[in-house]
Structure 1
Amino acid sequence: MGKLDNKIAVVTGGGSGIGRAITERFAAEGAFVALLDFNEEQATETVDAIKSSGGKVQFYKCDVSDGAGIQTIFESLKAEHGPLDVLVNNAGIAAVGNVETCTEEELDRIYNVNVKGVFNCLKAGIPQMVENGGGSIVNLASIASSIGIPDRFAYSMSKGAAYTMTLSVATDYVDKGIRCNSISPARVHTPFVDGFIAKNYPGEEEEMFKKLSATQPIGRMGKPEEIANMALFLASEEAAFITGTDFPVDGGFLKIKK
């Protein structure tokens, strides 16, 4: 028996990086996974890989900042497959800069995806979980939710919101059988990170990769699969007594000083 047999799960940003690892792991554990992503090419590659291994997955192209579009997708998912059991709010974008260099447009861009996107999926998914007698929500926060990171003003704002939304939902729905937790990764090596370094540090890619890797006391960046392992645990019945908690998966970043 898989840990998520017969469960209906939504993973946002599920086409690449951490989201892909979570989608693949959930499908391998027996869930039907609705993969929500803006990037059709990456999502299609992920879907094809999962289906070739016998997993159950369906791609829904969307922009998580579009509340009406998200509501339509969640309603369609329920009509086709039944009410939601697991929601993973993984979709996110990043930005470099402090409060002086951050523009209003950049702040809105980060907010729309990283904060409003989480809100839209919570608003669409929670009523289904209430109707279904419960469920598990996993929000992707960040070490930036609880510690200052240089030149990450807008991003840190958004991930702080992801963490506090986790606490609010856990509090408001604990008597409805809904558990809500968050994961706070440190730096995880994904194509997103490679693209981020290339965009913001052109000509310094190798040097910046080594520098960013070294900030984790364990001596390397995390792997997407390591975040997926925690997401699976929190989504499964093994975590039935856990809610309202943030789980750093950070190579010792928050607690170990070198």
Structure 2
Amino acid sequence: MNDKVAIVTGSGSGLGKAIASRFALEGATVVVADLNESTTADTVREIKDAGGKASGCKVDVTQQKDVGRLMADVAHAHGRVDILVNNAGITHYRDFSSTSGADWDAVLNLDLKGVFFCAQAAAPYMRRQQHGKIVNISSSLGTGTTPHVGSLSPGASSAYASAKAAVIQLTKTLARELGPSGVNVNCVAPGFFLTPLTGAVRSPEEVEEHIRVRKSMAVLNRAGKTEELAHAVLFLASEEASFITGHTLYVDGGRTDRM
């Protein structure tokens, strides 16, 4: 990835941080794009301390103008936009019977609309180059349904699952749209990974039970390591995947609810 310019949204922490760090290790110039300025600065500092090249940018991917500014700034600073990883997202579980329109919109705006806005804004630069890589991050919940761990019912994940399923279909649509311009658009559907989000909305007891159940649902019987997800994204963003587009790669340890 030497001399490649890669934008990774939501890379201040968690899976996005692992992806950004892996890209930098391979020689890419990484733009850490996140709404949280503090975690963005931390990621940039860690990449630089490891000898990598990175810069940070505060961006709200749900705002079309904000995303347009991000792409213009990156293109102006580096002369190109080679790679976009649409990783920014949230989970927002609510009981099915009490999920509000605001709950639904919060998830769909970030997890789906944000992916569309970022791809739309990056496309003109990639088309001009006649080359580019877009990797969207979906979820195993976008490929099937699972029991919700804890007191909530499966419908509690309806907004999140719907958004992540739509990301898979959006990936196929964008692959058709941008393929003639030499742009590859692919998707990664992670299974269970331990990230800061795991404990963000759960008690310690709920986290322990969540980990136990999710590990048991994978034939490898463990949680994924963030670097394992980063390896898969790196492959799809590299020239080694130059003849792959419109594809969704499951990185889930062999989830039995999908197999």
In which range does the TM-score fall when normalised by the shorter chain?
Answer: over 0.9
Segment of structure 1 superposing worse, 44-53 or 207-216: 207-216
Contact 1:84 1:125 in 2 (8 A): yes
- CA–CA distance in 2 between the matches of 1:57 and 1:37? 13
Matched ranges for 1:98-117 at <5 A: 99-117=96-114
The Cα of 1:196 is off from its aligned counterpart by 3.3
For residues 206 and 8 of structure 1, do their structure 2 counterparts lie closer, same or farther at Cα, with a shift above 3 Å needed? same
Match of 2:20 in 1: 23
Contact 2:67 2:117 in 1 (8 A): yes
CA RMSD, Structure 1 to Structure 2 (Å): 1.5
Is 2:139 the partner of 1:134? no
Match of 2:119 in 1: 122
Match of 1:168 among 167, 173, 176: 173
Contact 1:197 1:209 in 2 (8 A): no
- CA–CA distance in 2 between the matches of 1:126 and 1:196? 35
Is 2:150 the partner of 1:145? no
Contact 2:5 2:28 in 1 (8 A): yes
The Cα of 1:63 is off from its aligned counterpart by 1.0
Match of 2:29 in 1: 32
**1:52-109 superposed Cα distances (whole Å, 9 cap, x missing partner):** 1111111001111011011011101101111211000000000224543321000010
The Cα of 1:208 is off from its aligned counterpart by 2.8
- CA–CA distance in 2 between the matches of 1:180 and 1:236? 12
For residues 167 and 18 of structure 1, do their structure 2 counterparts lie closer, same or farther at Cα, with a shift above 3 Å needed? same
Is 2:243 the partner of 1:246? no
Match of 1:234 in 2: 236
- Give % identity: 37
Match of 1:86 among 83, 87, 90: 83
Q: Give the 3-state SS of the residue equivalent to 1:10 in structure 2.
A: strand
TM-score, normalised by the number of residues in structure 1: 0.93
**1:192-218 superposed Cα distances (whole Å, 9 cap, x missing partner):** 1122333xxx64332332223222221
Contact 1:139 1:183 in 2 (8 A): yes
**1:134-158 superposed Cα distances (whole Å, 9 cap, x missing partner):** 1111000111122123231000111
Match of 1:190 in 2: 195
The Cα of 1:189 is off from its aligned counterpart by 0.8
Q: Give the 3-state SS of the residue equivalent to 2:250 in structure 1.
A: strand
TM-score, normalised by the number of residues in structure 2: 0.93
Contact 2:6 2:30 in 1 (8 A): yes
The number of residue pairs the alignment matches comes to 251
- CA–CA distance in 2 between the matches of 1:84 and 1:62? 16
- CA–CA distance in 2 between the matches of 1:204 and 1:196? 9
The Cα of 1:256 is off from its aligned counterpart by 7.2
| Long gaps (5+) in structure 1 | none
Match of 1:58 in 2: 55
The Cα of 1:169 is off from its aligned counterpart by 0.5
Contact 1:98 1:153 in 2 (8 A): no
- CA–CA distance in 2 between the matches of 1:203 and 1:194? 10
Match of 1:95 among 92, 97, 103: 92
- CA–CA distance in 2 between the matches of 1:11 and 1:55? 15
| Partner AA of 1:190 in structure 2 | T
| Long gaps (5+) in structure 2 | 147-153
- CA–CA distance in 1 between the matches of 2:209 and 2:27? 41
